[in-house]
């Protein structure tokens, strides 16, 4: 059986091979953090795999009953592991589940790395994290900027307590974990240099640009009308507004307060007929809105 250290190195090498900008590219600090922080420490002993088995159910992986399969899943680059279904009304103790109402997970390693690549905090900068989850991303941030510079908010008190315990055990107890609605950010610690959300949104909460310094950075998944979410970057202007753009496709569970989506027009998206495609003689392709 491969050790966690060996699987961590293998996972990092696979992420390195994905072959595009992002991930570890030009971020040696991120590679070091990934290979140092034990992801298995932040993964619950029992998780659901988000791929239905032959019985049509989402199977459970148990660390004690299936140690090899569990550890391999922890370090599978593109596999998220589900830690909660239907806000906890579906119990992991009951085994494989039929419901796909996933409400908490530990995101797949590749996506965690990619988001931190674009956030790229500098040493000693202050970062606000929306959605503590298991605490894994908090630990990677703490390794880069120092635990005392990480503030994380988690809506569910039990998840926040578990994450803080895991962080404390590894020496990252200085991470400030607060039980709060991430839509409101955490005003008490503002202004922050950067903000990262590990939960998706339909609309950028107004509190977020207000709590990040002018010229800082926000990285968050946002829903799009194209059938998937996208990673969004925003730079606050200092007056509560921000500007930015989309980076890459992702898929994330939504903030609890934003699970119901408003019509796309109300969220600022143009209609598809407003999107035009132009192809030049040299094959150059341009896509824009007509407005």
Enzyme catalytic residues:
107
Three-state DSSP class for 232? strand
Helix (H) or strand (E) holding 150: strand 150-154
List Cβ<8 Å contacts ≥24 apart for 276-280. Answer: none
H/E run at residue 244: strand 242-250
CB atoms within 10 A of CB 96: 15
Rounded to whole angstroms, how far apart are CA atoms 182 and 252?
Answer: 15
Q: Shortest CA distance to 194 belongs to which of 116, 79, 114?
A: 116
DSSP letter string over 163-226?
Answer: HHHHHHHTT-TTSEEEES-GGG--GGGPPEEEEEESSBBSS--THHHHHEEEEEEEEEEEE-TT
Give 8's contacts (C-beta < 8 A, 6+ positions apart): 34, 35, 38, 39, 75
Residue (of 232, 237, 234, 233) closest to 213 by Cα position: 237
DSSP state of 127: E
Residue 248, Cβ density class (10 Å: 0-12 exposed, 13-18 middle, ≥19 buried): middle
């Amino acid at each position: 059986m491969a050790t966690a250290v060996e699987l961590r190195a293998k996972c990092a090498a696979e992420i390195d091979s994905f072959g595009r900008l992002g991930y570890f590219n030009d971020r040696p600090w991120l590679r070091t953090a990934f290979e140092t922080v034990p992801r298995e420490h932040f993964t619950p002993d029992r998780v659901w795999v988000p791929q239905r088995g032959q019985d049509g159910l989402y199977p459970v992986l148990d660390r004690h009953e299936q140690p090899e399969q569990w550890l391999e899943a922890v370090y599978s680059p593109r596999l998220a592991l589900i830690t909660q279904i239907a806000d906890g009304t579906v119990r992991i103790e009951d085994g494989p589940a039929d419901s796909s109402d996933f409400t908490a997970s530990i995101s797949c390693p590749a996506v965690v790395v990619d988001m931190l690549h674009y956030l790229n905090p500098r040493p000693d900068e202050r970062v606000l994290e929306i959605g503590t989850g298991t605490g894994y991303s908090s630990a990677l941030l703490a390794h880069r900027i120092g635990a005392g510079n990480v503030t994380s908010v988690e809506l569910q008190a039990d998840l926040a307590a578990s994450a803080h315990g895991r962080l404390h055990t590894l020496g990252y107890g200085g991470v400030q974990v607060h039980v709060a609605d991430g839509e409101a950010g955490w005003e008490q610690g503002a202004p922050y240099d950067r903000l990262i959300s590990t939960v998706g949104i339909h609309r950028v909460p107004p509190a977020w640009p207000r709590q990040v310094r002018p010229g800082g950075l926000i990285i968050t998944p946002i829903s799009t009308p194209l059938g998937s979410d996208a990673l969004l970057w925003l730079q606050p202007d200092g007056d509560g507004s921000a500007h930015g753009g989309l980076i890459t496709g992702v898929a994330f569970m939504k903030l609890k307060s934003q699970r119901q989506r408003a019509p796309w027009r109300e969220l600022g998206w143009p209609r598809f007929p407003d999107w035009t495609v132009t192809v030049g003689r040299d094959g150059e392709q341009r896509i824009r809105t007509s407005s």
